[in-house]
Structure 1
Amino acid sequence: MADEARARRVADRIKTVTAANLESIVKDPDLGFVTVTDVRVTGDLQHASLFYTVFGDEDQRARTARLLEENKGRLRSFVGKQLGIRLTPSLEFVADGIPENAAHVEDLLREARERDAEVAKAASGARYAGEADPYRHEREEAADAEVPDAGER
């Protein structure tokens, strides 16, 4: 069992090597603009999950996923030569959902800003139902205590 620090170092090295050499290994014009966003390696260094994003439409993402799957063996062989460790981890390519999640968060933030604007617009002409400051203050309480009520005289 490898320690976590070594697994992180191996994951970082796989990410760097794969990202820098992906186009030269796959050599296909259908490969989209791929960004390797993260790599996670199991504790025993036997399996690596490579998370990636593709710039383009859904068709481009599908073609890129197919090409990565077809060239998985070549990529693993290259990674194994570059790492120089006894066992080369198997590679799994996972499409990262970061762009979709970011778009969803942006939509939620836009909706929140619109609702805040509506509330601010409604509150701009609003008035207090009673007094502006409904709480009693110490000064007022002291003044009320000094003046006797009409019933006490």
Structure 2
Amino acid sequence: MSNPRVRRIADRIKVVVAQMLERRIKDPRLGFVTVTDVRVSGDAQQATIFYTVLGAGEATDGGAADQAATAAALESAKGLLRSEVAKQLGMRHAPTLEFVHDALPETARHLDEVLARAKAQDEAVAASRGTTYAGEEDPYKKPRPGELDDLDDRGGLDDRDGLGGLDGLDRLD
């Protein structure tokens, strides 16, 4: 759906269907529906409308019953919705509408639960971990008090002449 025209059609279909479901469709089977996305084919002949139903995400039988009733209500209202979409868009051929329950909220909820479990396990591991270091307290090597004097005697860091440790050959006159 990289075509900007198709994207505009999809956005307009989303608005029209949402308004129709809110204002004109009075089916008692219709739950609290949210239109999450609309995808239109490249030739604008088919539109897939993704929706969620508030309260249908639970694993209870009531949630599944709400979802099934809403799906039936959307199927029965498909003709009215398609005619209103055609009227609002002003297109010669109205796209066929297909309603698909969006599983994204359930997937996001499941991921949140998995992340919460992982965080709890990390906190349990952190709590069981000791407070002592595995190695030395300060793992960085530092020179011992007499090591700098040894380096000066070996010709390493001799800075007595103030020239930054340069020997006689590299001295600037």
TM-score band by shorter chain is 0.7 to 0.9
2:29 aligns to what SS in structure 1?
coil
Normalised by the length of structure 2, the TM-score is 0.75
Q: Give the match for residue 151 of structure 1.
A: none
Q: Secondary structure at the match of 1:50?
A: strand
TM superposition shift of 1:26: 3.3
Query: Contact conserved, 1:26 with 1:67, CA < 8 A, in 2?
Result: no
- How far apart are residue 132 of structure 1 and its match? 1.1
- Are residue 113 (structure 1) and residue 119 (structure 2) matched? yes
Identity between Structure 1 and Structure 2 (%): 51
Q: TM-score, with normalisation over the residues of structure 1?
A: 0.84
Equivalent runs, 1:16-55 vs 2, <5 Å: 16-55=15-54
Q: 1:93 aligns with which of 72, 82, 99?
A: 99
Structure 1 portions without partners, runs of 5+: 149-153
**Contact 1:50 1:94 (C-alpha < 8 Å) held by counterparts:** yes
Q: Is the 8 A contact 1:25 1:75 kept in 2?
A: no
User: Which of 59, 64, 70 matches 1:64?
Assistant: 70
**How far 1:135 moved relative to its partner?**
2.9
3-state DSSP class of the match of 2:50? Answer: strand
Return the alpha-carbon distance in structure 2 between the equivalents of residues 49 and 75 of structure 1. 13
In the aligned structure 2, how far is the partner of 1:102 from the partner of 1:130? Answer: 41
Q: State the number of aligned residues.
A: 144
Query: 1:50: Cα distance to partner?
Result: 0.3
Deviation at 1:143, TM superposition (A): 4.0
Structure 2 counterpart of 1:7, one-letter code: V
Deviation of residue 25 (structure 1)?
A: 4.2
The answer for the alignment partner of 1:129 in structure 2 is 134
Structure with greater helix share of residues:
1
Which structure has the larger Rg over C-alpha atoms?
Answer: 2
Q: Which amino acid aligns with 2:127?
A: K
Q: Take 2:4 and 2:144, find their aligned partners in 1: how far apart are those partners? A: 66
Tell me by how many angstroms 1:45 deviates. Answer: 0.6
Summarize deviations over 1:75-111 as a string: whole Å, max 9, x none. Answer: 1111111110111111010100122112101101211
User: 2: CA distance between counterparts of 1:114 and 1:143?
Assistant: 49
